[in-house]
Structure 1
Amino acid sequence: MTHFFVKQMILAPTVALRIDESEFEKLKLSREILLSAKAIEEKYDLLISNFLELEKEILSQLAEHMIFSQFSYQDMYNLRSVLNRRVANLLTSTRLYYDQIEKHVRTCMKGENKFGKEVKAYFCDEYDTNFEYRFMEALRNHVQHYGLAVHSLSLPSKWVGENESKQMINQLKINSTKDELSQNKEFKSSVFSEMPEKVELTKAIRIYIGCFSNVHKRIRDLINFNVSLSRADIEDVIHRYKEVNAGDAIGISAYSVEEDDPSSMPIDKISILLDWDNVRLNLNEKNQSSKNMSKWYVSGSYL
C-alpha cells in the first residue's frame, strides 16, 4: 500500500504531514497548471520584450541620424539591417507564442481539448478583423521562408508650430513594399491583393501586437479560475505544514512511499513552493493588456 506525506527534505529530523492520495494527485496537477500558466506569461513577455526592443531601436536610430546626419548609402543599409533583425526577432517570438499556446492552455484546463481549439479561435477572430494581423502573419511566413521584412525607409522631418514655439519633428518610416513581396510567388495571394503599394511597418506592428494583447487577455480570463484554484491548493498545504512545524515550510515536498514510514525512500516526489509562481504573478502585473497600442507614441518634445 502506498502512503503520502509532506515534509522538509533536509538531513535533520523534521515533521511529516500525512496526506491522502487524492490530495497528492491534486497537488501534482496544480503544479502542472501553474507551470503552464507561467510558460504562457513567459512567452508573452518574450513577445512584448522583442516589441519594446524594436520600438527602442527605432527611437535610438532616429535620434542618432537626426544629430549626426548620417545619410550615406552605407548608413542607410546599416539602419535597414538592424531594423530587419529586430523585426525578425519579433516575428519569431509571435510564432513561438502561437505554436505553443494551445498545449499550455489545455494543461491549464485539465487536458480538455476543446479549450485549446477555443484559443485558436481567438487568433482567427483577430485575423478576420484586422488587415494588419493578416499582413504581418503573411510577412512572418515570408521572413521565415523567403526574404526580409523592411524593404524601404525614409527619415522625413518638418517644422510645426509658429514663431518661437516652432519645433522640428523628425520621423523614421519603415516599409514593406508590394513590389518586393511580388518576387515571392508563395506570398499569400489574398493578403497581397488587399495590401497597398507599401505598408508602414511601425503602425502595422503596433496593431499586430495589440491583437496578441487582446488574445492574451482572453486566455488569462479563460484559465484564471483553474490557475487561482491551483495556487490556493498549494498555499493551503504550505499553511498546514507551517502550523505543525513552527511556521517553517522551507524546502517541503509532497511524496509517496511504499511503507507507512515518512523516512522511507520516496517513489514519487514533487516540490511544494511558490517562489517560481510569483514570477508569473509579476509578469501578469507587468504586461498589462494594450489593445490601443497603435494609438500610442513617444515624443521628445518639451512642449
Structure 2
Amino acid sequence: MKSTENKVKFKYEYFLKIAALGQFPIVEINKNDYTNIAHARETLTAALNIEESYDLALGNFLDLEKELLMLTVEKVVDHRFDYHRAYDLNSSLNRRIVNFILSGKNYTELIASKASKCARDEAEIESALKKLTNKHYDENLDYRLMEALRNHVSHSGVAVHLVDNPDRWTVDENKQAQHLVFNIGIYALKARLAENSGFKKSVLNELPEKIDLKKAARSYMGAISNIQDEARKLVKTTINAARATITGHLEKYAALNDGNSFAVGAYSSTLHEAGAKPIMLLLEWDDVRIELERKNQSISNVEKRYVSSAICPS
C-alpha cells in the first residue's frame, strides 16, 4: 500500500523536502543536483564500508593480542597444568586467531573493489590497490602464510598447533637473576599443515618447521594497515567532495527552514510517484566513518611493537 505522500503531486521535478508528512518548505534543485546527491550518498556509504572492514580486522587482531596478554598475566599466579586447561587455552587462542585470519583475508580480498566505489576513476583505483596487495603478498612470507591459512581454517583444521611458555629470567651485569619475564608463544607446525593436501604447496615449501603465529599476525596486520592508509589517500578527495555536496544542500535547505535540516530527502517527482523513496541527506553515518578513521590510526610497523608491564625506572 502506497503512503499518502506518494499521492501528492509536487510542483517541481527535482526538489528537497523533509521526508515526513506535514507542511515543510520545498526547495527546487535540478537534475544534475539530484544525480550528484545520489552519487555522493553512494560514495559515503562505500567509504563507511571500507572503514568498517578495517575496523573488524583490527578489532579481531586486538582481541587476539588481549587474549595473549590476559593468559600471560594469569600464568604469573596460576601454574596448574592439566589437559582440560591445555585444551581450553588452545581453543581460546584458535578462536581468536581464526577470527582475525578470516576478517583479514576478507579485507585484503575486497578492499580494491570497495575503494573503487568511492572514486570516479574506478578502474585506476582498483588497479592501484590490487598492485599494492600483490606487492605485500610477493614480499612478505607472513602475509602469504596468513592468506593460505584462511582456506586451511575454513576447510581443514586449526591454526594453532603448539602453545609454549618461553618464560625467562633477566640477569644483571653480575649475572644475578633480576626479573622473571612471562610470555606465551603460539605456533603452527609445518607437518600438521602438510596433512592438508589443499594447503598451498608454494607457501608450505617456504615455511620453517615451527611457525610463529604471533609474529605472523602482527606482520599481516601491519600490511593491512599500510593498505588501508593508501586506500584512504586514494579516495580522500572524492569522499571530501561527496560530503561537501551533502553539506551544501543541507545548509541551503536549513536557510529556508529556520535552521532545521533534519531528515531532508532529495526527490524526483517521477520516481516518487512510482513508489521510489527519496535519497536521504544524512551525515550521521559519515560522522561514524570519520571517527573510525581518527580512532584507527596507522600501525604499519606493528611487528616492531610490543606491550610491556615492566616497572618503569624512577
* TM score, norm. by length of structure 2: 0.90
Is the aligned partner of 1:12 residue 2:26? no
The residue matched to 1:108 in structure 2 has which SS? coil
In structure 1, what residue type is equivalent to 2:31? E
- In 1, distance between residues paired with 2:96 and 2:242? 37
The residue matched to 2:125 in structure 1 has which SS? helix
The residue matched to 1:297 in structure 2 has which SS? coil
In structure 1, what residue type is equivalent to 2:70? S
Q: Give the match for residue 73 of structure 1.
A: 83
The residue matched to 2:308 in structure 1 has which SS? coil
In structure 1, what residue type is equivalent to 2:178? K
Give the number of aligned pairs.
Answer: 300
Shift of 1:117: 2.9
Contact 1:65 1:71 in 2 (8 A): no
Contact 2:34 2:266 in 1 (8 A): yes
Of 210-219 and 180-189, deviating more is: 180-189
Specify which of 217, 222, 228 is matched with residue 240 of structure 2: 228
Structure 1 pair 240/46, CA: closer, same or farther in 2 (3 Å)?
A: same
Q: Give the match for residue 282 of structure 1.
A: 291
Specify which of 220, 236, 240 is matched with residue 252 of structure 2: 240
Is the aligned partner of 1:269 residue 2:281? no
Of 288-297 and 109-118, deviating more is: 109-118
Shift of 1:99: 3.3
Is the aligned partner of 1:189 residue 2:201? yes
- In 2, distance between residues paired with 1:273 and 1:257? 20
Specify which of 177, 181, 184 is matched with residue 189 of structure 2: 177
Shift of 1:98: 2.7
Shift of 1:265: 8.5
The residue matched to 1:109 in structure 2 has which SS? coil
Shift of 1:273: 1.5
Q: Give the match for residue 256 of structure 1.
A: 268
Of 154-163 and 131-140, deviating more is: 154-163
Shift of 1:201: 0.7
Structure 1 pair 141/265, CA: closer, same or farther in 2 (3 Å)?
A: closer
Shift of 1:66: 2.6
Is the aligned partner of 1:208 residue 2:232? no
Shift of 1:266: 6.9
Is the aligned partner of 1:295 residue 2:304? yes
Contact 2:60 2:100 in 1 (8 A): yes
Of 140-149 and 266-275, deviating more is: 266-275
Specify which of 134, 152, 159 is matched with residue 169 of structure 2: 159
The residue matched to 2:267 in structure 1 has which SS? strand
In structure 1, what residue type is equivalent to 2:296? N
Shift of 1:102: 3.2
Name the Cα RMSD after superposition. Answer: 2.1
Of 46-55 and 75-84, deviating more is: 75-84
Structure 1 pair 2/14, CA: closer, same or farther in 2 (3 Å)?
A: closer
Unpaired segments of 5 or more residues in structure 2? 1-10
Q: Give the match for residue 68 of structure 2.
A: 58
Unpaired segments of 5 or more residues in structure 1? none
1:28-69 deviation line (CA, Å, top 9, x unaligned): 000000000000100100000000000000111111133111
**Aligned residue runs from structure 1 range 94-105, under 5 A:** 94-105=104-115
- In 2, distance between residues paired with 1:106 and 1:252? 28
Shift of 1:207: 0.4
In structure 1, what residue type is equivalent to 2:65? E
In structure 2, what residue type is equivalent to 1:203? K
1:154-184 deviation line (CA, Å, top 9, x unaligned): 1121111439992110010000111111211
- In 2, distance between residues paired with 1:182 and 1:238? 59
In structure 2, what residue type is equivalent to 1:62? T
Contact 2:267 2:279 in 1 (8 A): yes
Shift of 1:111: 6.8
Shift of 1:267: 4.6
Shift of 1:189: 1.5
In structure 2, what residue type is equivalent to 1:10? A
